[in-house]
Amino acid sequence: MKNPYQSLPERAFWRPSVSEVEPTAISDVYRPKFPVDKSMRVVTQGSCFSQHIGRQFVTRGYQWFEAETPFTHFPAQLSRAYNYGVFSFRTGNIYTPRLLLQWLRWACGRDEAPDEAWTNREGSVDPFRPAIEPDGFASDEEMLASRNGMIARMRESLPSIDLFIFTFGLTEAWENKESGVVYPMCPGTAGGTFDPDKHVFRNYTFLECHRDMTEAVEILRSFNPAMKILFTVSPVPLTATATGEHVLTANTRSKSLLRTLAATLSEEHDFVDYFPSFEFIIQPPFKAMFYDGNLRTVTKEGVAFVMSHFFKAHGAADETDGDDAPRRRTVTEAENDDLVCEEVMLEGAAAR
């Protein structure tokens, strides 16, 4: 009698499907649980890398949902600076499961967003979207109205969303000790003032992340019981860690936890899937060739490679020229290279 491995397909073995194959020819890695097609209304949220995914959906003519559109007659080049067309909802980056859950709890009315406001030299800053306006808001009132308007649009539109794609970024975050709210950025880095008596560092455990995401999935499905959910893990390493560990090990801790989380959620729910963008960039066959010189950000070619696997798996022909740039308009070279990543602001704190 054969042992179980003797009847497995080639893709189950490293040597024939990975080490003996030219890296970009590695195939059949992603087998979707459910189809994704152009009839679906798609949301992309999460860390910086999810911006690439959103752009690719737009470029290929999918129904990428944008809750807040820029003013019709303004030049498109202004939009990115004000975070229009970056994520489906104008939340800025959502790096952690806890932050996603917080936004969703506010959207469904389970919690109420606090009136907390930060200030910087230019004006009022939203603690939960610190870089959403490059020069801040004119007043706290304007900031709160903008945030509440965004939450309202989230509430109104989620019932019509067919596919929610979320890219996990990291497990580290800062919380407010008193209110328990979680911030996308440490107070004092992108606005506000750090207060050690008020702000506490958290590196969420797997159990915490799983609990948060279980509730997040439940909220999303309460908006639309037919909604499909797709998770990815960002291959972009941490800019900095506040754990006291070396950033290399802290990065592995964050990414491996989130990768496990995505796998667990996918195994628990038939409407949840995982797309391996993480593996396509970080695994040994690719020898870091899809990273820029900083060994952190992903090249255009890397993004195109990753997304070609996604769309090919969904039966869509390669409809782009591999350039991850255009989205309903011509994008300049500078814009193309500039993802909106608040976390990069932490680099300013690094010793030179």
Q: Which residues bind other proteins (CB under 8 A)?
A: 68, 71-75, 77-78, 81-82, 123, 133-138, 142, 145-146, 149, 333-334, 337
Q: Which is nearer to other proteins, 6 or 72 (CB)?
A: 72
Q: Which is nearer to other proteins, 18 or 340 (CB)?
A: 340
We find the least distance from the C-beta atom of residue 168 to other proteins, in angstroms, to be: 29
Q: Which is nearer to other proteins, 12 or 138 (CB)?
A: 138
Q: Which is nearer to other proteins, 123 or 276 (CB)?
A: 123
In the Cβ-directed half-sphere of 275, how many Cα atoms lie within 13 Å? 28
We find the least distance from the C-beta atom of residue 71 to other proteins, in angstroms, to be: 5
Both tokens of 250, joined, read 């802290």
Both tokens of 212, joined, read 């948060």
We find the least distance from the C-beta atom of residue 284 to other proteins, in angstroms, to be: 28
We find the least distance from the C-beta atom of residue 229 to other proteins, in angstroms, to be: 28
As a dihedral over the C-alpha atoms of residue 116, residue 345, residue 102, residue 310, rounded to 10 degrees, the angle is: 150
Instruction: Please tell me the distance from the alpha carbon of residue 55 to that of residue 87, in angstroms, as a whole number.
Output: 9
Beta strands per DSSP E along 75-226 = 118-119, 124-125, 163-168, 172-176, 182-183, 199-203
Q: Which is nearer to other proteins, 132 or 258 (CB)?
A: 132
| Burial of 61: CB neighbours in 10 Å, binned 0-12, 13-18, 19+ | exposed
We find the least distance from the C-beta atom of residue 232 to other proteins, in angstroms, to be: 28
Q: Which is nearer to other proteins, 150 or 250 (CB)?
A: 150
| Contact status, residue 318 vs residue 311, Cβ threshold 8 Å | yes
Q: Which is nearer to other proteins, 105 or 300 (CB)?
A: 300
Q: What is the CA radius of gyration of the chain?
A: 20
Closest CA to 113 of 96, 130, 126, 97: 126
Instruction: Please tell me the distance from the alpha carbon of residue 268 to that of residue 163, in angstroms, as a whole number.
Output: 18
We find the least distance from the C-beta atom of residue 329 to other proteins, in angstroms, to be: 14
We find the least distance from the C-beta atom of residue 239 to other proteins, in angstroms, to be: 19
In the Cβ-directed half-sphere of 306, how many Cα atoms lie within 13 Å? 32
